[in-house]
Each structure stands twice: as structure tokens, then as C-alpha cells.
Amino acid sequence: MIQVHDKQFEIYLSKADIAAAVQQIADGINADYAGEKVLLVAVLNGAFIFVADVMRCLTIDCEIEFIKTQSYEGMHSTGNVKMLLGLEKDLKDQHIILLEDIVDTGNTLAALLDIFRKKQPKSLKVATLLLKSAALQHKNLPLDYVGIDIPNKFVVGYGLDYDGCGRQYPDIYQAVV
Ligand code: XMP
Ligand code: MG
């Protein structure tokens, strides 16, 4: 058990579970983009550890950029996606993969996809380590690479936070209710 702010969390996914999911995502990307170059776009802050691990499993040519959004306050999605840090790079005619730590309602991803599609990339795919499919409110999101489908409970660790804290744990923990 760990404590983050006022909440208790219990272990849910081990380092080994996470590493297997990361490798499976990277295997898919390596196979799909063999001989091509991709631009990874990581959604900060939560995806910073995930993207570092995925990138080290890639054998294709790749570059990385970071963007920053905010939709959560504490343990609840506000449904209102703010872009806090944008992208300088020209996306036209590039293969883009958006990397998310977790897709919950899908609001963040839907908003990001709208923005990215307007920039006319050669292709646009999404990789997420975690998916709360029971919480998903958007149909037809292109979830091309999904690590692990988890129940609709708040999680921390491996880059994921509860109000800024809890990101440092190598395993993923689930809120105890
Ligand atoms: P939406 O609802 O827009 O949420 O799909 C995506 C963003 O919300 C954050 N999020 C979480 N962060 N534990 C976290 O630490 C969670 O269980 C969780 N659920 C959603 C996350 O930043 C994600 O990018
Ligand atoms: Mg977060």
C-alpha cells in the first residue's frame, strides 16, 4: 500500500506487467512502420516515463516532441481540455503517433486528434499504455496501440499522478475505496 495525499492505493500492475505492455506496443509500431520514420508526440506530464520506455524499444527511425494538456483536477476529469504547451514542429506529411499514459473519458484524445488532423500529417495513430474502456465517452477514437484495459478506478505510479504526486513509483497502484 502507498499513500498519496489523502488517499490509499494498492498495487495493481507490476513493473513486469507494464514492461510486457510497453514491449507489445513497441512491437506493433516497429512492425507497422518498418522502413519509415515516425514522430512520437508525448502528452505530458503523465506519459513521460511511458514514452521513454517505448522509445527505447523502437528499432525504426523516430523523433520525439512533447505537448501538454490538462483535463483533470484531483481525481475527476473536468471534461474541458486545456492545451498548456503546444507543438512547434510542422506535422505536414509526417507519420505521427500520439502517446498517452491513459485514456479515460477520451475527451483529451478527441480534442487532440481534432487539432492534429488539421495539420495534415501523412498518418495519425494513437498509443496509450492504459485504457478505461468503461469510462470512454467517445466512439470511433483510433486507439491503435493499447497496452492494458483497466477498470474505472483511479490509478497512480509510472508517471501517473494524483494531484501531482505519485508519479515516481515503478509499478501502478489503484485507489482503495
Ligand atoms: P480523459 O478523461 O480526457 O483523461 O480521457 C485523460 C487524462 O486524464 C488523466 N487521467 C488520469 N491520471 N490516473 C491518473 O493519474 C488516472 O486514473 C487517470 N485517468 C485519467 C491523464 O492525465 C490523462 O492524460
Ligand atoms: Mg495527470
Q: Would you say residue 168 has pLDDT above 90? A: yes
Give the residue, 174 or 82, on which the prediction is more confident.
174
Is there a catalytic annotation at residue 6? no
* Exposed e or buried b per residue across 24-44, where buried means at least 16 C-beta atoms within 10 angstroms of its C-beta: ebbeebeebbeeeebbbbbbb
State residue 69's pLDDT score: 82
Over range 53-61, report the average pLDDT: 98
Task: Tell whether ligand 1 has an atom less than 6 A from the beta carbon of residue 104.
Answer: yes
Q: What is the pLDDT of residues 118-165, one digit of tens each?
A: 889 999 999 999 999 999 999 899 999 999 999 999 999 999 999 999
Task: Tell whether ligand 1 has an atom less than 6 A from the beta carbon of residue 71.
Answer: yes
Distance CA 7, CA 9 (A): 7
What is the number of alpha carbons within 13 Å of residue 90 lying toward its C-beta?
A: 2
Q: Identify the nearest ligand to the CA of 164 by its number.
A: 2
* Active-site residue, from 90, 104, 149, 171: 104
Q: Which of 160, 165, 174 to mutate to test the pocket of ligand 1 (most atoms within 8 A of CB)?
A: 160
Q: What is the pLDDT of residues 6-42, one digit of tens each?
A: 999 999 999 999 999 999 999 999 999 999 999 999 9
State residue 21's pLDDT score: 98
Protein residue closest via CA to atom 20 of ligand 1:
104
Q: What is the pLDDT of residues 68-103, one digit of tens each?
A: 987 666 666 666 776 666 777 888 999 999 999 999
